[in-house]
Amino acid sequence: MQLRKQGLGCSLLNEFYGCILYADDILLISHTVHAMQMMLHMCDEFSNDFDIKFNCKKSVAKRIGKRFKEKCVPLQVDNKDILYVSELKYLGVHVCDGQLLTFSVEHLRSKFYRTFNCIYSRSKASNSEMISIELFKLYCFPFLFFCC
């Protein structure tokens, strides 16, 4: 709420998307590095007020846009630098490098093939297609359709 009041973060169709939360995971989104540092400063103040610690070793920054490869000043939380990465994972979704927001599902594809091959190799002896199909639906579909 404080980020929205300060005009920090991003909005789309009059909805605020500057701070996305799920359990103990926080995703901050801003248009500029300066605005992101201001958001992180507000998070520092919030953490001090409510006795919360941010894990800077797990925190990363990702840039998307025309200048995503350019060097820029480091972002800081609790006076510690945050590492810039070329790909990040948030709630199982991989966000990739580039001028546009892109996602990778390659990790899900490899999990799908590993799971299917494991099930298929164990179900050959039974010669039962129904068992294979049920196992396929139970174990492989979740990997295949996770990001859809």
Same-domain pairing of 74 and 133: no
DSSP string, 60-112: EE---STTTTS--PPEEETTEEEEE-S-EEETTEEEEPSSS-EEE-HHHHHHH
In a domain? residue 140: yes
Dihedral angle of Cα 60, 66, 71, 77, to the nearest 10 degrees:
-30
In a domain? residue 112: yes
Same-domain pairing of 80 and 136: no
Q: Is the pTM of this model over 0.75?
A: no
In a domain? residue 46: yes
Same-domain pairing of 74 and 14: yes
Same-domain pairing of 10 and 80: yes
pLDDT at 139 exceeding the cut of 70? no
Give residue-wise pLDDT tens across range 58-68: 888 888 888 88
Helix (H, G, I), strand (E, B) or coil at 53: coil
Same-domain pairing of 11 and 66: yes
Give every CB contact of residue 64 below 8 A, 6+ residues apart in sequence: 95, 98, 99, 100, 101
Which helix H or strand E contains 37, and what residues bound it? helix 33-49
User: Cα(74)–Cα(3) distance, rounded to whole angstroms?
Assistant: 21
Same-domain pairing of 10 and 79: yes
Task: Give 48 or 138, the one with higher predicted confidence.
Answer: 48
Query: In which domain, by residue range, is 138 found?
Result: 107-144
Q: How many CA atoms lie within 13 A of 44 on its CB side?
A: 13
Q: Would you say the C-alpha torsion 76, 38, 49, 58 has a positive or negative sign?
A: negative
Report the mean per-residue pLDDT for the chain: 80
Which helix H or strand E contains 134, and what residues bound it? helix 129-135
Same-domain pairing of 18 and 53: yes
pLDDT at 126 exceeding the cut of 60? no
**114 phi and psi, to 5 degrees?**
-60, -45
Same-domain pairing of 82 and 112: no
Our count of domains for the chain comes to 2
Same-domain pairing of 134 and 64: no
In a domain? residue 131: yes
Q: 96 - beta bridge partners?
A: 102
When pLDDT is cut at 50, 70 and 90, the band that residue 56 belongs to is: confident
Same-domain pairing of 75 and 113: no
Same-domain pairing of 69 and 113: no
Same-domain pairing of 53 and 115: no
Give residue-wise pLDDT tens across range 14-49: 888 888 888 888 888 888 889 999 999 998 888 888
